Chains A and B, each alone.
Chain A
């Protein structure tokens, strides 16, 4: 594998990536680069094209444009690619007849980078037993099994598409905690999509907003902290605040909370600070603000 792709700094490189479905365009001519060692959140509303983008990366669907994953073309080199990429595409896709022991045996049998001991160690901390079949498990347990398999694979890129959809908060927290503590390191890259943005924002290093098949925002979390500011504006300064054209405004306890984009002309940190108490916005608020159409 290393002969084919020596240490890659850019894990995913897309230019002019387009995915058409009949007449509709799911992914519309997007270009981006994902460097190694990052955890990227790909955030977008339903039908925005994020799943299609991931499927294109994984070589599951045909597409137009240029796309390289670990230096390989997912259309023609998928077989090589899959030795270094693993993914959880949607929750609960493990077949119902599969037993825990069979799942571990099979992946150990076919995957050269699977660490059986690691998977078993992780499974020990769950209620799963080797004889248990997937159809006897709760959704949360199925995801635990899937995560145990995926975490034990020493892949360069891990793609997670709504991996915790429909799970309760305990399973969700545990999922991301395990991922961060026992899996992620600077050699690995994780791309994750989810609707529960609040829960993953502290683990993300990069953020990509996608809407109508286009990327509307792509930045590191540090850049976002610098660029966007949220400010609690008392009633007497609301007019002054609105004059500075916030990208979003909402009411909390009778006060206006305004969200400013520092990259817009004339909006400086000093001016924002003069309006009231400032803080970094949450991704969820930023997401709602940008998806409203104010940022088109």
Chain B
């Protein structure tokens, strides 16, 4: 267990830029932009409206009815975490390239010879990289995302107050405000299982490729499915090509995107589309519905098999 702690520290030292500084920088930029637009909105008065999640939150006070105010507060308290969405995109990219290069770079710069001179098993090393990608990294992103979202709540509430509408009390006393980060944290186990096929595929290709791991990782499934699609069209086999795009390319390459599971059941997509305001409760419930789908479990099993292959490759592949 102690070894695992040091392996995780090691990953953090190496990837501080992607997993720590990148979300902080993105958060800071977004916070500054929000603060700036609130300030502009306040100074320009009625000419500008500040919108968040499509809802106008700062109209002139006299145009603001009690109902509208209540709606804005509810919207806000429930949906403020959506301000963290850009962080999730940054996270997906970071995890994708982290997994792809985790077992490739160490062979390229030959530092694998140093790591392998220590009494640390290949299994522990690879598992530490997965724990970083699907455990620590999303937790850190969630932490920064929450801080960012709260900052934005404060900025906009201040802006509203400057316009004569006080929503502080309503927002701060809303339970949804405090529940939202926890509800997102509760989705992480599903996210980790869901992302396994992509993580396993990227680790395996990185452990195997002699050069150009990105080309192998992305090109192989795209080309394979593309070719099959072409044959299918030429020879009119009538195969279900959409299935291949969805389950080979999509699950293999895009499963590290948080929330991508919603795209796999029409009811979920419909539900998300119907939502007038972002509500974390139903999203969390739908997320956990995934445990009843073979899609999640078969993907996780395939991912685990590829992770095992990555461990064997690291054990035996010569570094050059």
Contact = CB atoms under 8 A, between A and B. Distances in A.
Contacts of A87: 113, 117
Contacts of A106: 6, 9-10
Contact of B117 (A61, A86, A109): A86
A1 to B, nearest CB: 10
A123 interface: no
B233 interface: no
B111 A110 contact: no
Nearest to A79: B121
A93 B3 contact: no
A82 B117 contact: yes
Interface in A47-90: 55, 58, 60-62, 78-79, 82-83, 86-90
A112 B7 CA distance: 15
A111 interface: yes
7 contacts: A58-B116, A82-B117, A89-B117, A95-B114, A110-B3, A110-B118, A111-B118
B172 to A, nearest CB: 42
A82 to B, nearest CB: 4
A26 B118 CA distance: 26
Given A60-B113, A146-B114, 7 more contacts: A86-B117, A90-B110, A95-B109, A99-B13, A106-B6, A106-B9, A109-B3
A102 interface: yes
A103 B315 CA distance: 22
B13 A110 contact: no
Interface string B286-320: 00000000000000000000000000000110110
A61 B116 CA distance: 12
- Contact count band on B: 20 to 34
Contacts of A94: 111, 114
Given A60-B318, A61-B318, A93 B6 contact: no
- Contact count band on A: 20 to 34
Contacts of B29: none
Contacts of B119: 79, 82-83, 110-112
A204 interface: no
A88 B118 CA distance: 11
A93 B113 contact: yes
A93 B121 CA distance: 19
B118 A82 contact: yes
A98 interface: yes
A291 interface: no
Contacts of A99: 13
A87 B118 CA distance: 9
B14 interface: yes
B2 interface: yes
Interface string A182-209: 0000000000000000000000000000
A102 B7 CA distance: 11
A62 B316 contact: yes
B118 A95 contact: no
Contact of B118 (A62, A105, A107): A107
A93 B316 CA distance: 18
A237 interface: no
A97 interface: yes
A89 B318 contact: no
Nearest to B110: A93
Contact of B120 (A93, A97, A98, A110): A110
A150 B117 CA distance: 9
A102 B2 contact: no
A291 to B, nearest CB: 25
Contacts of B2: 109-110
Nearest to A108: B6
A96 interface: yes
Interface string A111-140: 110000000000000000000000000000
Contacts of B106: 95
Nearest to A103: B114
B14 A95 contact: yes
Nearest to B112: A93
A58 B114 CA distance: 12
Contacts of B276: none
Contacts of B7: 110
B274 interface: no
